[in-house]
């Protein structure tokens, strides 16, 4: 699948979501677009996400359309935090424990398969998404998409993240050499 065909899949999927022709079952808008692209292209989920990111970076109008759809579904039509709050304490604990374990498993896998700068970037982006979610009062997925929208819109933000990671690495090296 070439980029033009992938762009068509992205546009069509966004349009179907906006018209409620696709049932998301409380899932994430952007994740559904990626999964649709994955399914129709036959690529891996990561390749589909990378392709979508490339297309959205090069097409600010489509980037804006995706974030508007994310905001409509995640912010206007849903109150996902309310669903969690309505659960019984035991159910909340099970949910929290499962996701705690998932995060630790994912980071353990990252330690085995990714470079330290990739892991630092992932942790930094997670922190930024969490901060946005708390600040603007949305769920984490919506905040993550708002962050990715901003990063696609302004590459200078990616440079700032890279500079901060370099400063982390420099500090770690200094502290490591001082411990010998």
Minimal CA–CA distance to 45: which of 54, 55, 35, 53? 35
pLDDT tens per residue, range 136-149: 877 788 889 889 99
In the block, residue with structure tokens 């109008």:
61
Cα–Cα distance for residue pair 23/157, rounded to 1 Å: 34
Residue 128: its pLDDT value, please?
A: 94
Q: Which residues contact 60 (CB under 8 A, 6 or more apart)?
A: 153
Prediction pTM value: 0.64
Residues 30 and 70: beta-carbon distance below 8 Å: yes
In angstroms, the CA 15 to CA 164 distance is 37
Residue-wise pLDDT tens digits, 47-60: 898 899 999 999 99
pLDDT tens across 103-148, in order?
889 888 888 888 888 889 999 999 999 999 888 877 788 889 889 9
Domain boundaries along the sequence of the chain: 1-78, 114-180
Encode pLDDT of 65-84 as tens digits.
Answer: 998 898 888 777 876 555 66
Q: How far apart are CA 168 and CA 120, in angstroms?
A: 9
């Amino acid at each position: 699948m070439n980029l033009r065909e992938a762009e068509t899949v992205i546009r069509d999927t966004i349009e179907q979501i906006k018209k409620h022709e696709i049932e998301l079952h409380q899932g994430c808008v952007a994740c559904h677009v990626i999964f649709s692209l994955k399914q129709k292209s036959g690529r891996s989920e990561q390749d589909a996400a990378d392709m979508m990111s490339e297309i959205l970076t090069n097409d600010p109008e489509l980037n804006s359309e995706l974030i508007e759809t994310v905001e409509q579904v995640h912010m206007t039509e849903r109150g996902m935090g309310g669903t969690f709050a309505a659960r019984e304490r035991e159910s909340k604990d099970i949910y929290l424990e499962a996701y705690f374990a998932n995060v630790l498993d994912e980071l353990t896998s990252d330690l085995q398969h990714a470079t330290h700068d990739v892991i630092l970037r992932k942790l930094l982006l997670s922190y930024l998404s969490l901060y946005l979610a708390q600040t603007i009062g949305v769920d984490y997925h919506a905040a993550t998409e708002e962050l990715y929208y901003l990063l696609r819109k302004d590459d200078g933000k990616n440079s700032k993240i890279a500079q901060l990671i370099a400063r982390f690495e420099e500090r770690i090296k200094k502290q490591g050499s001082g411990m010998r």
